[in-house]
Amino acid sequence: MQITLKLFATFRNGRFKVAEQELLEGTDVRAVVLSLGLTEEEIGIVMLNGRHGELDSKLAHGDTLSLFPLVGGG
C-alpha cells in the first residue's frame, strides 16, 4: 500500500517535506516513526488524514500521515 508522509518543523532537517511511501499492509504509525530514525519521545502530534492520530493507528492505502515534533517552550 502507498501513503503520503508529511514532515513538519525540525523533522524536515535532512529528510523531506513530503514523500510517497510504500508500506506493508497493517503497518502502524509507530513503525513509520522508527523507520525515520525518530524516537517516540520526539513526537508531538500525529495527524492522520487531517485529524489527530495515534502511534498505534494502523495505516491504510491512500492515507496521509503528518508528523510534528514536540513543542513545549514559553
Footprint of another protein (CB under 8 A): 8-10, 40-41, 43-47, 50-52, 54-55, 66, 68-74
State residue 21 phi and psi, 5-degree precision. -125, 135
Nearest approach in angstroms of CB 61 to another protein is 22
Considering the complex, state which of residue 22 and residue 41 has its C-beta at the smaller distance from another protein. 41
Nearest approach in angstroms of CB 20 to another protein is 20
